[in-house]
């Protein structure tokens, strides 16, 4: 992970500075606040700030003034009810802000989740670092034959080495050209133009602030096994952070979202017919082949 000594000193200074507040805080979050967690080869994620906790979700749902006298188990039960019945606004009362360093192609996937506030490092104003993502050889795979937007079988070690060589060669060449374009003693091209020559595996950084409800939506999609590996790495680390921040909400999220499956009306009809003793095949189910396969995968799991 490429953190400069100056950046590390800044982080240590902020972490060491005493702060007093009367707002609710979470000890587990206070312990990891500002700490960068390395991801991929040059990336990281760190929590810059947060607002609210599990009790804030409960407070919003009950429209109460404080924690009151209810037991923690009652609060957890309410959170599970809210999650189970897909109530969203109580979870929107909590927010979190991340500082993320990630490859450009991951950022382009990430930014599709629009319910967040984002401020990205400006390559019009500053020069991007000479850092680019190179996948591990175990992550270099052929195009999937069943998923048009995913990977299939891992390529041989020899082929993976050739792929890595091409990726590294092109990234180095493009960054070298980028420097040549920027050179004030040479071509002297404007930064906003020179940047268009960079490869999509170049690293960028941003601050990303989002509420808890939309964060969980992001995590449900981007931690799914069908999501691209590189963005899953970030999502999985964020789930760990979620557990530290709002443990009751995180548990309900795992039980009712990550570990659950929604059946369509047609799938429920098939299940009822099976429970009644009827033998149902894909041809007699009324489901498409893909729906049938998805249902079978969950049931046989």
- Section 181-209 average pLDDT: 97
Q: What is the pLDDT of residues 225-262, one digit of tens each?
A: 999 999 999 999 999 999 999 999 999 999 999 999 99
Q: What is the pLDDT of residue 142?
A: 94
Q: What is the pLDDT of residue 64?
A: 65
Q: What is the pLDDT of residue 68?
A: 56
Name the pTM for this structure: 0.90
DSSP states of 107-164? HHHHTT--SSEEEE--TTTSPPPS-B----GGG-EEEPSS-TTSEEEEPPHHHHHHHH
Confidence of residue 2 (pLDDT cuts 50, 70, 90): low
Task: Give the integer Cα–Cα distance in Å for 205 and 128.
Answer: 10
Q: Is the pLDDT of residue 1 over 60?
A: no
Q: What is the pLDDT of residues 142-167, one digit of tens each?
A: 998 888 888 999 999 999 999 999 99
Task: Give the integer Cα–Cα distance in Å for 232 and 240.
Answer: 12
Q: What is the pLDDT of residue 84?
A: 95
108 included as an active-site residue: no
Q: What is the pLDDT of residues 16-50, one digit of tens each?
A: 777 778 888 999 999 999 999 999 999 999 999 99
Confidence of residue 105 (pLDDT cuts 50, 70, 90): very high
Closest C-alpha to 106, from 257, 235, 195, 198 = 235
- Tokens (6 digits) for 178: 């980028």
C-beta separation of 235 from 219 below 8 A: yes
Q: What percent of the chain has pLDDT over 90?
A: 84
Contacts for 59-63 with beta carbons within 8 Å, 24 or more apart?
59/93, 60/89, 60/90, 60/93, 61/87, 61/90
Task: Give the integer Cα–Cα distance in Å for 91 and 71.
Answer: 20
- Section 268-285 average pLDDT: 96
**Annotated catalytic residue, options 80, 112, 222, 290:** 222
C-beta separation of 34 from 48 below 8 A: yes
What stretch of H or E contains 38?
strand 37-39
């Amino acid at each position: 992970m490429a953190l400069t000594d100056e950046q590390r000193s800044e982080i240590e200074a902020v972490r060491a500075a005493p702060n007093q507040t009367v707002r609710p805080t979470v000890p587990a979050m206070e312990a990891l606040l500002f700490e960068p967690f390395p991801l991929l080869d040059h990336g990281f994620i760190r929590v810059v700030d947060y607002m609210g906790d599990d009790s804030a979700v409960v407070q919003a749902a009950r429209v109460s003034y404080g924690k009151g006298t209810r037991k923690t188990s009652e609060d957890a039960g309410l959170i599970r009810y809210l999650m189970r019945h897909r109530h969203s606004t109580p979870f929107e009362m909590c927010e979190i802000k991340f500082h993320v360093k990630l490859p450009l192609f991951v950022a382009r996937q990430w930014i599709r989740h629009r319910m967040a506030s984002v401020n990205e490092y400006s390559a019009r104003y500053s020069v991007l670092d000479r850092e680019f993502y190179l996948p591990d050889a175990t992550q270099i795979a052929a195009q999937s034959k069943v998923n048009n937007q995913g990977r299939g079988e891992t390529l041989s070690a020899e082929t993976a080495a050739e792929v890595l060589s091409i990726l590294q060669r092109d990234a180095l060449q493009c960054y070298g050209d980028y420097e040549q374009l920027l050179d004030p003693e040479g071509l002297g091209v404007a930064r906003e133009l020179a940047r268009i020559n960079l490869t999509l595996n170049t690293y960028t950084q941003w601050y990303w602030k989002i509420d808890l409800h939309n964060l969980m939506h992001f995590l449900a999609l981007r931690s799914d096994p069908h999501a691209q590996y590189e963005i899953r790495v970030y999502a999985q680390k964020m789930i760990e952070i979620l557990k530290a921040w709002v443990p009751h909400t995180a548990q309900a999220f795992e039980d009712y979202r990550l570990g659950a499956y929604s059946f369509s009306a047609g799938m429920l009809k098939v299940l009822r017919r099976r429970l009644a003793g009827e033998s149902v095949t894909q041809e007699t189910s009324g489901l498409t082949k893909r729906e049938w396969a998805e249902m079978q995968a969950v049931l046989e799991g």
